[in-house]
Structure 1
Amino acid sequence: MDRYVAAFERADVAALTRLLTADAVLEMPPVLNWYAGRERYGRFIARVFAMRGTDWRMLPTAANGQPALAAYVRDGNAYVPHTLQVLTVDRGRISRNVVFQDRAVFAAFGLTPFPATVPVS
């Protein structure tokens, strides 16, 4: 989790994909996006960074007994909720990432805007 968070916050797609199983899946219910394999996963994440920028903060949490990450993206002078990513980890590698982009999910999990104590430079 720590390596994934560090790579995501650096927008380091190569480092992210090294943390995946060869057949890793990224899905985004209810959207029909579904990416299978390291290469496709990496291309999608690269596109996210290109569209949304590379300044992210991740907050580890849990969802249904699985490790999860609340992803916040910089928007002006603040980090705003973007996605909740629920991970399946298999032998130290991520084999599935179910991404929820509905901001209401943040409230359901008791997640708040990114703590103000984190400097935004």
Structure 2
Amino acid sequence: AIDKSGLESKEKRRFTIVGNQSKPLIKEIYYEPSFPTNESNIVVYAYVEKTFYELKKVSIILNGEEKNMYRYADFPVQSRHEEDALKNISNEPRYGIELGQLEKGEYEFIIKAIDTVGNVAVSKEYKIEVG
């Protein structure tokens, strides 16, 4: 910068432009039981990992309705209950939601993951056939 008197001043400023648009990584999606009936307790699981930014939200969109999924065994404050389906499974980045019992029919769902800067990853569409 130069002032009215002609004095000049220079100052270096360092900055970084972060334009990383890496989406969260949705690795595997499955549900249990594999062949549910209208009396089954259906649970959907998804392995989701951060890429560059932390994960903010993982959700399921089931027949147009969005519901939050929850990370299993993430810094548990107490040991798992004997009846917990994941009691003997490692603490990998697994998210899940218990859908409970569904009426007979076909249900479509996708998994959506959002990181802390708003990058969105969406899975392909999956179907659950309830007999």
Q: TM-score, normalised by structure 1?
A: 0.27
Larger radius of gyration: 2
Q: TM-score, normalised by structure 2?
A: 0.26
